[in-house]
Amino acid sequence: MAETKPTDDAIRDVSDTALWVALYRAQESERKDALFNDPHARRLAGERGRRIMETVPGARGISWPMVVRTQVFDEIILQLVRERGVDTILNLAAGLDARPWRLSLPPTTHWIDVDLPGMLEHKRQGMAAETPRCRYTARAADLRLPGALRTVLDELTGDSKCVLALTEGLIIYLEPAEVASLARELASVPHVRYWLTDLGSPMLLDYMEKRWKGPRALQNAPFKFAPAEGTKFFEPHGWREREYRSTMLEGRRLNRLPPFSWVWAIFGLFASKEKKEAFKRFSGQVLLERV
């Protein structure tokens, strides 16, 4: 019997999702009414990113929450830099984020990308001809290893006054114990004042599991973290919710809801108050601050 070889267009691991999501940013940037402009995204995603997009069933129909997340993160990052004294941004599992090159950040802002060596090298090659708008550092590290994050914090943020940690598209792939450990490590450093992340609910995980079953879906990058208690999960580990932005409500504000969203609105008319509140927390972007 012939040996079965893995298909090159399947998602092999969590890192591959960065290629896929980069295409969503590219597609948004090419719209006439684009919310943001990421001229680097299509180049960084490359041919493999395109094949992944074509492989994941229904992938083209779920661009809107990724676009909303990108725009909301942009808004909150710029607000914290301009109004809250954030001088360092620690981007954990940075993937193909091109914000240091595309956002209007002060030149003195220190942007630190942390990711696995392979991803950072791919990004370095793709951005070799570009100049970041702020002070930029790329640091290879496997955050799954004990002490890896603390080493990065000690080496690269020692002269910082106010650090914002980013985990965009990361913690949903972690076990709850791993997220708790990450939270405690970040909270242990006094100048890490803010943490911006996306957060799903158990309803989201249930929906995604039903939508993306099959041999060429997301088996190699399963969703794991969606605490029933929402942002209260972080409180025992040193963080509290400062701001929560519902993906659904932000999608309405930004005019990026999908065509079938009117069905959700009809169901919402007959839902209880508790169900309506739960649906607002179906997924969202969360700004946490140290307790």
Mean pLDDT for the chain overall: 89
Residue-level pLDDT at 211? 65
Domain contains 31: no
Report the amino acid identity of residue 227: P
Domain contains 250: yes
Domain contains 263: yes
Angle between helices 41-55 and 16-29 (to 10 degrees): 110
Torsion of CA 132, 79, 172, 261, to 10 degrees: -110
Report the domain count for the chain: 1
Domain contains 97: yes
Residue-level pLDDT at 133? 97
Domain contains 1: no
- Residue 281 per-residue DSSP state: T
Closest CA to 170 of 95, 117, 236: 95
Residue-level pLDDT at 3? 37
| Residue 222 belongs to domain with CATH number | 3.40.50.150
CA–CA separation, 199 vs 170, rounded Å?
A: 10
What residues does 205 pair with on adjacent strands? none
Q: Block means of pLDDT (10 residues each) for the chain, length 291 residues?
A: 45 78 94 97 90 74 91 98 98 97 98 97 96 98 93 96 97 95 97 98 84 57 89 98 96 90 62 72 96 92
Domain contains 261: yes
Domain contains 186: yes
For 206, the domain range is 63-290
Domain contains 153: yes
Model confidence, pTM: 0.91
What residues does 110 pair with on adjacent strands? 88, 135
What confidence tens digit (pLDDT) does each residue in 50-83 have?
887 777 766 677 889 999 999 999 999 999 999 9
Give the number of C-alpha atoms closer than 13 A to the C-alpha of residue 218, restricted to the C-beta side.
20
**Beta strand segments in 37-142, E:** 88-92, 110-115, 135-140
